[in-house]
Structures are given as C-alpha cells and as structure tokens.
C-alpha cells in the first residue's frame, strides 16, 4: 500500500510540475511592465520613449532580442529584455501590435478594455 501511495504521489507531483511550467502570463499582463516608460497600452508619445502601440510584431521581437543579446545599444532596455523568454517577447509583440495607435489620454476606457479582452481571448497571439 505504501508503494502504491508513493507512486501516485510521484505521478501527481510530476503532473503539477508540468502544468506549472506550461502556464505563461498573457501578452497584456506582461506588457504592463512596459507602462512606466512607454505608457498604458504602449501609447506614450514622448521623444525619449517611443510608443509600442501598433508597432509591427516583427519589429518589436527583433528589437527585444537585439537588446537582450547586447547587439542593440541601450541604457536600460538591455537589462529589461534579459528578463523575457522568446515566447514572452512574442506574446507582448502580438499584443502591442493590436493596440490602437494614439495617445493614451485620447483612448477611451472602453477601447482599452476591448483591446485587452481581445488579447486575452487570443492568448496574446494573432
């Protein structure tokens, strides 16, 4: 009986570890980390910080990977990019690409919520 319980416990532990490894935050959830500099939904328009809203996914992905690998000059982004996997970068890229290109103060709450709901329903993917 003890051996059976040990085998069952090991099986449940393995299943739990696999399930937690497959859980990844959505692109919209990870994109909030960009908000302090790039604005809510990436819609900040200032000289020092380019907007991320509406940026083509490939451009975002290429930039983040270059920052992470140290092949693109950066003051802060190289350290920020090191915190993301390729899959997380892609999820954010697809999410930002779908955001309306306009200043945040001109974006209604309904538009922001709708964009977030769309991103969540597609898992941050196109």
pLDDT in tens, 82-105: 999 999 999 999 999 998 876 655
Tell me 118's DSSP state: H
pLDDT band at residue 125 using 50, 70 and 90 as cut-offs = low
Q: State the pLDDT at residue 34.
A: 86
| 77 against 29, higher pLDDT | 77
Q: State the pLDDT at residue 63.
A: 96
Q: State the pLDDT at residue 38.
A: 84
CA 56 to chain centre: 14
Q: What is the pTM of this model?
A: 0.62
Q: Rounded to whole angstroms, how far apart are CA atoms 54 and 58?
A: 11
CA 86 to chain centre: 10
Q: State the pLDDT at residue 59.
A: 96
Token couple for 42: 């990436």
Q: Is 71 a residue whose pLDDT tops 80?
A: yes
pLDDT in tens, 12-52: 444 444 443 445 568 888 888 888 888 777 777 666 778 89
Q: Is 61 a residue whose pLDDT tops 60?
A: yes
State the helix-helix crossing angle for 57-69 and 86-97, rounded to 10 degrees: 150
Three-class DSSP labels, 48-70: CCCCCCCCCHHHHHHHHHHHHHC
At 18, phi and psi to the nearest 5?
-65, -40
Domains of the chain: 25-121 (1.10.760.10)
């Amino acid at each position: 009986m003890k051996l059976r319980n040990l085998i069952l416990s090991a099986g449940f532990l393995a299943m739990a570890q696999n399930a937690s490894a497959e859980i990844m935050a959505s692109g919209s959830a990870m994109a909030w980390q960009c908000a302090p500099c790039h604005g809510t939904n990436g819609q900040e328009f200032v000289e020092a910080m380019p907007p991320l809203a509406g940026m083509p996914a490939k451009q975002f992905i290429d930039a983040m990977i270059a920052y992470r690998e140290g092949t693109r000059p950066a003051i802060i982004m190289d350290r920020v990019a090191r915190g993301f996997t390729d899959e997380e970068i892609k999820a954010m890229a697809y999410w930002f690409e779908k955001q309306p290109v306009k200043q945040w103060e001109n974006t209604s709450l309904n538009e922001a919520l709708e964009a977030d709901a769309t991103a969540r329903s597609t898992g941050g993917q196109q």
